[in-house]
Amino acid sequence: MTYTQFSADSTGPSGALGPEWAAELVASVRAVFGGGRTHDLDWRQSQLEGLLRFLTVEEEPLLEAMATDMGKPRVEAWAADIGTTRGEVEHLAGRFRSWARPRRVRLPLAFRPGRGRIDPRPKGVVLVIAPWNYPVQLVIEPLAAALAAGNAAIVKPSELAPATAAVLAGRLPSYVDPEAVRVVEGGVPETTALLEQRFDHIFFTGSTAIGRVVMRAAAEHLTPVTLELGGKSPVVVDRSADLGITARRIVWGKFLNAGQTCIAPDYVLVHNSVRDQLLDRMVREIGSFFGRDPGASGSYARVVNERHLTRLTSLLGGEGSGRVVTGGTVDPGRRYLAPTIVVDPDPDSALMTGEIFGPILPVLGVDDVEEAISFVNSRERPLALYVFTSDEAVRDRVLDATISGGACVNHTLLHVAPSDLPFGGTGPSGMGSYHGRAGFDEFSHHRSVMIRPFRPDVRLMYPPYNALKEKLLRRFL
């Protein structure tokens, strides 16, 4: 079978595989999985090495594609999509063999003689659906975990990062087993056609709204899902925080990729006694990062498309959106929205109810940490939570009293990076997790196995039952 590059033109009724392309594609990948080669540890190793080669050899085309798709500054694109992704794939490649080993379990006396163990098994054919904001990382990292666990995979990059999707579809198959890893380019119709098929696991990264669509489709086939979704990640700033460093770290985490990061600080709750100082410092940091005109800075990304720019400008101009402290400038021709801070928005405004996912940072004053906790807990469970404080009691109180997918104290975003820290959401911000061992486990079925000898064959549990058998069972079970 030869590799077919899928695209909006080559799929569907007129495409290479005909109207039933999605069914045919999944059947062909299922046949590869059924043949058993993906279980082999050396095969898995060679796939991970192939991914590393892909990231090295194709680095330049990938960086260029990301610049085309969303004006990603080169350094940001390298760090978040190439460097971090390489680190994760290397981590998996160095460890998956030991994770794949069966784990012996000591059986209780009543079940001896016999042996117990847990075998991590590949799930089968998995579907990975990715968003556009980190268009390499969010395809390759889940794919690597799926391959490390011995699965075959179909990946669907986002149509909103078409240049990057084209590099992935065109080049990736030359570095991995092209029959076991298939890349489908396309948008809603293609994803919908794929979601009608039966997969053994679906790994979705994207918005909470589409997460519901994915989970509904998965329910038809009782397919397990990992949902890496979004939400409004709060930042709590206590009066004990070092305000200069706090401001720098919030501004960095918020305006990286022009705020289009799932765990970007969405809004800030700051102690009223230091609110104005924090605002001043953040405005200064924006100037020091991006200069007087961030539009001219090579370190500041663009909004991905016109639709999102319109959405963001209407949030900014919407009722109760607060006072603009800095930014607010829009240049639709360049899909530019300046790094923007607003203060005192109405908590019920559109700005404060939906995920912002762009370079607008609302700041609200609170009288104490308990008010901040109540505010966070009155809303949906966020993907990330940030707290800035030098007071350990405040830190522990905020961590204990809130629930979020992940948390980072005195910095933003960084908790996503180390492979040993599982990454995922909770409630509307997602379910399941990955990175490192968590990803291997997510794509594995942990099969419990008990192995018994034929003899002795104790008849205690077999009928006919009697009082003595019951007495003995009660004693030994």
Interacting residues with ligand NAD (CB under 6 A): 129-133, 138, 156, 158-160, 187-188, 191-192, 205-207, 210, 213, 228-230, 262, 355, 357, 383, 425, 430
- The CA-CA-CA angle for residues 26, 27, 30, to 5°, reads 85
Q: How far apart are the first and last CA of the chain?
A: 55
Token pair for 171: 């080049």
| Nearest distance, CB of residue 428 and ligand NAD, angstroms | 10
Q: What is the Cα–Cα distance from 263 to 230, expressed in whole angstroms?
A: 7
| Nearest distance, CB of residue 470 and ligand NAD, angstroms | 53
- H/E element, 49: helix 41-57
Find the catalytic residue in 58, 88, 185, 262. 262
Find the catalytic residue in 228, 285, 355, 442. 228
Phi–psi pair at 235, nearest 5 degrees = -120, 125
Is-catalytic flag, 408?
Answer: no
| Nearest distance, CB of residue 209 and ligand NAD, angstroms | 7
Residue nearest to ligand NAD (CB): 230
| Nearest distance, CB of residue 233 and ligand NAD, angstroms | 9
Q: What is the Cα–Cα distance from 56 to 86, expressed in whole angstroms?
A: 9
Q: Prior bond to 456 cis, omega within 30?
A: yes
| Nearest distance, CB of residue 409 and ligand NAD, angstroms | 20
CB nearer to ligand NAD: pick between 258 and 274: 258
Write down how long the chain is: 477
247 neighbors 342 (Cβ within 8 angstroms): no
CB nearer to ligand NAD: pick between 164 and 246: 164
Q: What is the Cα–Cα distance from 180 to 218, expressed in whole angstroms?
A: 21
Beta bridge partners of 225: 202
Interacting residues of 52 by C-beta distance below 8 A, sequence separation 6+:
86, 89, 90, 93
CB nearer to ligand NAD: pick between 22 and 210: 210
Catalogue the active-site residues: 228, 262
